[in-house]
């Protein structure tokens, strides 16, 4: 299960737009260089929580 850095960038940009009063919209996630794509749930399940410490992240 891989979360690409472009997924993270896209999600952060989308959330920043929404939090600044813009629209909320869905974003297709997953790597485009393979034959399988990550779903939103898989992508979010593989992100560390904002409260994670360095040991947890590494």
Annotated binding-site residues for substrate read: 48
**Rg of the Cα trace of the chain?**
13
Distance CA 11, CA 40 (A): 10
Q: Residues annotated as binding site?
A: 48
Distance CA 22, CA 25 (A): 10
């Amino acid at each position: 299960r891989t979360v690409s850095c472009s997924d993270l960038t896209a999600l952060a940009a989308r959330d920043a737009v929404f939090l600044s009063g813009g629209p909320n919209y869905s974003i297709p996630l997953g790597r485009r260089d393979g034959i399988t794509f990550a779903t939103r749930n898989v992508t979010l399940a593989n992100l560390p929580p904002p409260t994670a410490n360095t040991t947890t992240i590494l």
